[in-house]
Homo-oligomer: A and B are copies of this chain.
Amino acid sequence: MATAGDVKNISLAAGGKLRIEWAGNAMPVLKLIEKRFAKEQPLKGLVIAACLHVTAETANLMLALKAGGAKVYLCASNPLSTQDDVAASLVKDYQIPTFAIKGEDTKMYYAHLNAVLDMHPNITMDDGADLVSLLHTKRKDQLSEIIGSSEETTTGVIRLKAMMKDAALKIPVFAVNDSDTKHMFDNRYGTGQSTLDGMMRATNMLIAGKTFVVAGYGWCGRGLASRAHGMGAHVIVTEVDSIKALEAVMDGYTVMPMAKAAKIGDMFVTVTGDKNVISFDHMLAMKDGAVIANSGHFNVEVAVEMLQKKAKSHRTIRTYVEEYTLSDGTKRFLLAEGRLINLSAAEGHPAEVMDMSFANQALAAEFFIKNKGKLDVKVYTISKEMDQEIARLKLKAMGVQFDTLTDEQEAYLGSWQEGT
């Protein structure tokens, strides 16, 4: 694999450059960090390998890291999420080696992961823990070269915590996802909007009046349910956690098991982080014409393989819409092959939320290098103060003012004698 990267078509760079600029307009917090990094050079001499969705927003993170003095290498964290023009521009206009082609197969996907690890990074960034997983299995020899690794998404954090529990984790990791300024915004408002955006682009179906089933009521599910409702859908939520299920009921949604929801839903989306949440039996139970999508990180949430195996026939009726005809003649429509609908059929989260997520990523890299040698093998999270600072910068950039505690108020919160 060429060290300059592997992209679909380098001549797409011009469009990608504009797209990166456009996204950058909506990322003021990251831009402030980039400016400081350019001056302070905190990442000087570091090699960073990032396995993230190759989008215009990610490109802006790469620019910030490079501005900070790092050598940066990028590969895709999902075979369908790459924006080929952005990848081209990163290589051509910014000399950031990028290994990502939209629609790449699993073999190429892993070749790209290995290509960035071949650069012997000191810091890695993951969106789904694939680099970390590779480092702990096939490339253990490189573990000692790693200062730390940061993780973007819920699914990746679940994997990392499972590794910790198994005592399999060998490097310090930073759970970017656990920052309030990440999961409360990116997962909720980002996933909410971009998932619907992807479904509308793929199908052009009316959401109003539809029975819309959301599997999972974590931050992503909450955001998605809220937005589907906001577009006029009747929202049904499925959950395995009783507290989340109860919250969904109180938020005005209908809660039921998937086996029951399957029979009445028009559109289904999984955002759980688990597998076979929509099984083939569920698909069998669905109405003729039901639409199925996944917005969870991995394409294991919907039993796609079983559907492919059991369906009588299959055709692409629209881009990202696969029509499966079952043996009884009824149809199910699977979007984007069950992969992340928001990154496949649309453009992923809007830059406005990635601004904060990637501010966290950039600060995580700085955290690693600042604390090099003092770090434990565990999952780190952001400090409350830094988290609040990111939000403060965001509000400032948005022109929103808010209150400050008076001294009297500050003192009152710290006292306990004053009562009724």
Chain A interface (Cβ within 8 Å of chain B)? Answer: 18-19, 21-23, 25-26, 77-79, 106, 109, 128-130, 133, 137, 158-160, 162-163, 165-166, 168, 180-181, 184-185, 188-190, 192-193, 197, 200-201, 204-209, 226-227, 229-234, 238-243, 245-247, 249-258, 260, 273-277, 289, 298, 300, 317-318, 321, 346-347, 349-353, 387-389, 391-392, 394-395, 398, 400-406, 408-409, 412-420
The distance in angstroms between the C-alpha atoms of A317 and B276, with both chains bound, is 41
Q: Which interface residue of A21, A193, A253 has the most chain B CB atoms within 10 A?
A: A193
Using Cβ atoms and an 8 Å threshold, which residues of chain B touch A185?
Answer: 246-247, 250
Partner of A412, one of B193, B200, B231, B300: B300
**Inter-subunit contact A401/B256 (CB<8 Å):** yes
**Inter-subunit contact B418/A300 (CB<8 Å):** yes
**Inter-subunit contact B166/A350 (CB<8 Å):** no
The distance in angstroms between the C-alpha atoms of A222 and B250, with both chains bound, is 13
Using Cβ atoms and an 8 Å threshold, which residues of chain B touch A243?
Answer: 180-181, 184, 387-388, 391
A277 to chain B, nearest CB (A): 8
**Inter-subunit contact A416/B249 (CB<8 Å):** no
**Inter-subunit contact A77/B22 (CB<8 Å):** no
The distance in angstroms between the C-alpha atoms of A329 and B273, with both chains bound, is 46
**Inter-subunit contact A205/B350 (CB<8 Å):** yes
Q: Contacts A205-B26, A206-B190, A400-B245 known; A133 to B417 CB distance under 8 Å?
A: yes
Give me 11 A-to-B residue pairs in the complex whose CB atoms sit less than 8 angstroms apart, sorted by A's number: A21-B317, A133-B417, A162-B414, A185-B250, A189-B209, A204-B350, A206-B352, A209-B250, A232-B250, A245-B402, A246-B400
A149 to chain B, nearest CB (A): 13
Using Cβ atoms and an 8 Å threshold, which residues of chain B touch A109?
Answer: 420
**Inter-subunit contact B158/A419 (CB<8 Å):** no
The distance in angstroms between the C-alpha atoms of A353 and B401, with both chains bound, is 34
The distance in angstroms between the C-alpha atoms of A26 and B208, with both chains bound, is 13
**Inter-subunit contact B353/A242 (CB<8 Å):** no
A148 to chain B, nearest CB (A): 17
Q: Contacts A227-B230, A238-B402, A321-B22 known; A133 to B208 CB distance under 8 Å?
A: no
Partner of A352, one of B205, B257, B394: B205
**Inter-subunit contact B402/A350 (CB<8 Å):** no
**Residue in B closest to A391 when the chains form the complex, CB atoms:** B242
Using Cβ atoms and an 8 Å threshold, which residues of chain B touch A245?
Answer: 391, 395, 400, 402
Using Cβ atoms and an 8 Å threshold, which residues of chain B touch A158?
Answer: 413
The distance in angstroms between the C-alpha atoms of A418 and B298, with both chains bound, is 10
The distance in angstroms between the C-alpha atoms of A391 and B415, with both chains bound, is 34
**Inter-subunit contact B227/A231 (CB<8 Å):** yes
The distance in angstroms between the C-alpha atoms of A206 and B389, with both chains bound, is 21
**Inter-subunit contact B106/A420 (CB<8 Å):** yes
Using Cβ atoms and an 8 Å threshold, which residues of chain B touch A239?
Answer: 402-403
Q: Contacts A227-B231, A419-B298 known; A165 to B250 CB distance under 8 Å?
A: no
**Inter-subunit contact B25/A289 (CB<8 Å):** yes
**Inter-subunit contact B242/A398 (CB<8 Å):** no
**Inter-subunit contact B133/A240 (CB<8 Å):** no
**Residue in B closest to A389 when the chains form the complex, CB atoms:** B242
Using Cβ atoms and an 8 Å threshold, which residues of chain B touch A190?
Answer: 206
- Given A197-B204, A229-B230; 12 other pairs, CB 8 A cutoff: A23-B204, A128-B419, A180-B243, A193-B207, A197-B201, A200-B346, A240-B402, A245-B391, A249-B395, A255-B400, A274-B405, A275-B412
Q: Contacts A160-B416, A240-B403, A274-B405 known; A394 to B189 CB distance under 8 Å?
A: no
**Inter-subunit contact A246/B394 (CB<8 Å):** yes
Q: Contacts A106-B420, A317-B21 known; A206 to B193 CB distance under 8 Å?
A: yes
**Residue in B closest to A321 when the chains form the complex, CB atoms:** B22
**Inter-subunit contact B229/A252 (CB<8 Å):** yes
